[in-house]
Amino acid sequence: MARMKFICDANRCIECNGCVTACKNANEVPWGVNRRRVVTLNDGAPGERSISVACMHCSDAPCMAVCPVDCFVRSEDGVVLHDKDQCIGCGYCLYACPFGAPQFPQAGAFGVRGKMDKCTFCQGGPGKASAEEQFSKYGQNRIAEGKLPLCAEMCSTKALLAGDGDVIANIFRERVTIRGKGAEVIGWATAYGTPKAGAAPAATEGKK
Amino acid sequence: MMRKLAKPAAVLAAFALVFSLSACGEKKVTTYEPGKYSGAPVAAPWDSPQFGGKQAQWEAAIQARTQGQNDYSRIPAK
């Protein structure tokens, strides 16, 4: 069974924000909500690195643990989804998430925090509502069409990989082997579990 | 004078030590129990009009799509 994951290859990301734009456009994400964003480390300094960050669909998701109304669920293919009909917009998940994935739209004239919104791995959401209602709540359901999240499919340098964790880990491992550097993956331990359960691909000697 | 005060001070210090460390031997009682999901059920991705519940077909489609992200399988490295 596939276990859906993202990996962002910091050696390939060129900070083009194509993933961010693709996500916002495809899912018609409201103004002020960024399901995905590009973070640059050591900006302007030699050796700066950028990574595209969204919900990492953690194997042991902290958001699920802290939710007081238990609105989070893991789908059969390992995607962490949440039911917006149950969400009370408390914001605990935002504090718990190490990636800053949960987003809260401004609802109403007084800036009242709305229900949480986050990356759904382009898999829609829970419930059997009509396609239009599902789209307005959660965005596209590309996974049901046998496609991958649009952010990864639109990535021009293929820095952002999405899909079955084992398959994308192998793709990443092959890259590291061929180029001979860049084995570190930010957020690996949290998203993929403990190093024992899902060890990060180790750098091996390869062609440079 | 100092000797007279030393004994009560030592006793007091011993009591303070015993009281301050008395909770250290207690076992942690907080246990985390994951809650029960309260929302609507999530449909399996293969339960879609396109795949009609055929899990193997869906998995094959996703695997092929995922492997399509590998530059080295599309253009072999020299």
SS (H, E, C) chain B: CHHHHHHHHHHHHHHHHHHHHHHHHCCCCCCCCCCCCCCCCCCCCCCCCCCCCCHHHHHHHHHHHHHCCCHHHHCCCC
A2 with B62: Cβ contact below 8 A: yes
Under a CB-based contact definition with an 8 Å cutoff, are residues B69 and A170 in contact? no
Of A181 and A105, the structure prediction assigns the larger pLDDT to A105
Whole-angstrom Cα distance, residue A127 to residue A107?
23
- Please tell me if residue B48 touches chain A, with a CB cutoff of 8 Å: yes
At residue B2, the pLDDT reads 63
Predicted confidence (pLDDT) per residue in A65-105, tens digit: 999 999 999 999 999 999 999 999 999 999 999 999 999 98
At residue A199, the pLDDT reads 54
Distance from CA of B57 to the nearest CA of A (A): 9
Q: What 3-state DSSP class applies to A87?
A: coil
User: Residue A67: closest CA among chain B residues belongs to which residue?
Assistant: B35
Under a CB-based contact definition with an 8 Å cutoff, are residues A59 and A193 in contact? yes
Task: Please count the other Cβ atoms lying within 10 Å of the Cβ belonging to residue A167.
Answer: 20
Predicted confidence (pLDDT) per residue in A2-32, tens digit: 789 999 999 999 999 999 999 999 999 988 8
- Which of A146-150, A151-155, A180-184, B11-15 has the lowest average pLDDT? A180-184
Q: Which of A1, A69, A71, A77 to mutate to test the interface with B (most CBs of B within 10 A)?
A: A77
- Please tell me if residue B54 touches chain A, with a CB cutoff of 8 Å: no
Choose among B35, B38, B44: nearest Cβ to A76.
Answer: B44
Region label for A44, one of left (φ > 0), alpha (ψ between -120 and 50) or beta (otherwise): left
* pLDDT confidence bin for A207, thresholds 50/70/90: very low
Whole-angstrom Cα distance, residue A164 to residue B64?
11
What's the mean pLDDT when you consider all of chain A? 87
**Stretch 104-123 of chain A: residues touching chain B, C-beta under 8 Å:** 123
Choose among A72, A126, A164: nearest Cβ to B63.
Answer: A164
Percent of chain B with pLDDT over 90: 42
At residue A182, the pLDDT reads 73
Distance from CA of A65 to the nearest CA of B (A): 6
- Please tell me if residue A126 touches chain B, with a CB cutoff of 8 Å: yes
Distance from CA of A125 to the nearest CA of B (A): 7
Token couple for A59: 């194997």
- Please tell me if residue A65 touches chain B, with a CB cutoff of 8 Å: yes
The predicted model scores a pTM of 0.80
Its ipTM equals: 0.83
Distance from CA of B70 to the nearest CA of A (A): 6
Phi, then psi, of B40 in degrees rounded to 5:
-75, 155
Query: Is A198 a residue whose pLDDT tops 60?
Result: no
